[in-house]
Structure 1
Amino acid sequence: MTNYGNILLVEDDASLAQWVVEYLNEQGFSVTHIGRGDEAVDLMRSTEFDLILLDIMLPGLDGIEVCKIVRGFTDTPIIMMTARSDEFDEVIGLEVGANDYVIKPVRPRALLARIKVLLRQDSNPAAHAKPRNELVFGNLRLDNNAKQGTLADRDLNLSSGLFDLLWLIATNAGTITTREQVFQTLTGREYDGLDRRFDVMISQLRRKVNDDPQNPKRIKTVWGKGYLFVANAWNDYG
């Protein structure tokens, strides 16, 4: 039987785990199931997987902590599964290194589609390779190789998710980066018109760079279109 990839499922709900394993096995994947976050970290240190399905609410270590830890030693694609509908929780998952997320109850076909997108990207590094260079706008310096941003020599302490978003809009400085562009570039799928994760992340970026949320000068939201990085607004610190 064809094996399209080895997947680690970290989920403490036995009934959910059972149908996910059975469904993905039917689709040609090999699935290993484990129910505790701390045990999952140990397993990931010793075993190579093509993709990780990671629940947020787990015994031992929750999914957020697991994601933080494993991002220190692997770039394996991670899809987080959450029963929470709160957007902030979803964005946290993306900030700590998850590639995507699904909200429970999980829809089988939607889960399969997201798995295929991430595995396709991971098998073709050229499709998602980022330029290893630097951008400078006044006192703002972005190092895409180190995934680091500084403003007037102050480290912005950006997560990988926030840095990638800032890098994307900065490379399009002076022009609107549409939500469709953002979703296609950073998630590998089309914008559904409802997902607001990047709006939340834009707000977080404004706080990081001291941009007034009520009257932003540096990173603007253009109603109904997307985001505008203002190239000449970085000459002062405040």
Structure 2
Amino acid sequence: MAYHVLVVDDEKLIVKGIKFSLEQDGMQVTPAYDGEEALQLIKDSNFDLIVLDVMLPKMDGLQVCQQVREFSQVPIIMVTAKGEDMDKIMGLEYGADDYITKPFNILELKARIKAILRRSVKKAPAEGSKNILKARELELSYDSRRVFIQEKEVNLTAKEFDLLELLMENPGKVYSREKLLDTVWGYDYPGDVRTVDVHVRRLREKIEANPSEPKYIFTKWGVGYYFN
């Protein structure tokens, strides 16, 4: 089945351009032009990914993202006309999986969309392998892409799950932030290695009893991160 993408921007020409380009790749695209309309569509429909502009009428993109994260972990790419780092990081703080800054190349946006969709597809485990990863009280399910702590589900975004999955599959292996960007995000992510720091911090807040004294995800100072 075709991927279903929601594109939210109050600039109709931008929506039209993205819609045309994604439809050329066989995707189904639903447009929305303000935050309230977008939120209602997300509640009423099942989307595989959302492209969400920050500056929207009625309700801005950060508010939409924050409210969506209360009931859904659908991948979200934030679009912002602002180039300041804090705006980008704020988008991630609210639960976005990625961001792109206007003006952007449609080919770059498509590459990011495809990378996230590839990683978000539920992967069937290799024949003969187990479909569950366990580490003490932490359990990760490949089939359902769900994570549990002491049998209680923890809601992770697509990128948080991918990050945890990679680290759990390679315990003790230290990954630099650059390597994590390349492996988890799946494309050259220019400059913003802090994106990894934000995701690791959010992940720790969700799976660690005491994020400041982690027992799962450790920092190798000056190098990167590893799973214990």
Q: TM bucket by the smaller chain?
A: 0.5 to 0.7
Distance in 2, matches of 1:5 and 1:162, equals 21
Question: Aligned pair count?
Answer: 210
Cα distance in structure 2, aligned partners of 1:6 and 1:15: 20
Q: 2:4 aligns to what?
A: 6
What's the TM-score, normalizing by structure 1? 0.66
Aligned to 2:221: 221
Amino acid corresponding to residue 76 of structure 1 in structure 2: V
2:93–2:198: 8 Å Cα contact kept in structure 1? no
Contact map agreement 1:148 1:163 (CA 8 A) in 2: no
SS at match of 2:221: strand
Q: Provide the TM-score with structure 2 as the length reference.
A: 0.68
Which of residues 165, 180, 191 is equivalent to 1:194? 191
Mapped contact 2:133–2:168 kept (Cα < 8 A): no
Tell me how far 1:184 sits from its aligned partner: 4.4
User: 1:228 Cα deviation (Å)?
Assistant: 5.3
Q: How does 1:1-238 map to 2 (within 5 A)?
A: 4-126=2-124, 135=135, 174-187=172-185, 189-192=186-189, 194-196=191-193, 197-199=195-197, 209-210=211-212, 219-222=219-222, 226-227=224-225
Cα RMSD (Å) = 3.9
Percent identity reads 35
CA distance in 2, matches of 1:111, 1:11: 14
CA distance in 1 between counterparts of 2:165 and 2:118 reads 23
Q: Quick one: which amino acid aligns to residue 10 of structure 2? A: D
Deviation at 1:108, TM superposition (A): 0.9
In structure 2, C-alpha distance between the alignment counterparts of 1:14 and 1:117, rounded to whole Å: 25
> In 2 relative to 1, CA 204–75 (structure 1 residues): closer, same or farther, beyond 3 Å?
closer
Q: 1:147 to 1:105 in 2, by over 3 A?
A: same
| Structure 1, unpaired ranges of 5+ | 150-156, 212-217, 232-238
Structure 1 residues 125 and 10, CA gap change in structure 2 (3 angstroms): same
Change (3 A) 1:98 1:54: same
Mind listing any 5+ residue stretches in structure 2 that lack a counterpart? 126-130
Deviation, 1:135, is: 4.2
Per-residue Cα deviation, 1:102-156 (whole angstroms, up to 9, x for no partner): 11112111111122222333334348xxx766646xxxx766688688xxxxxxx
Specify the SS of the correspondent of 1:25: helix
Partner of 2:128: none
Bigger drift between 174-183 and 49-58 goes to: 174-183
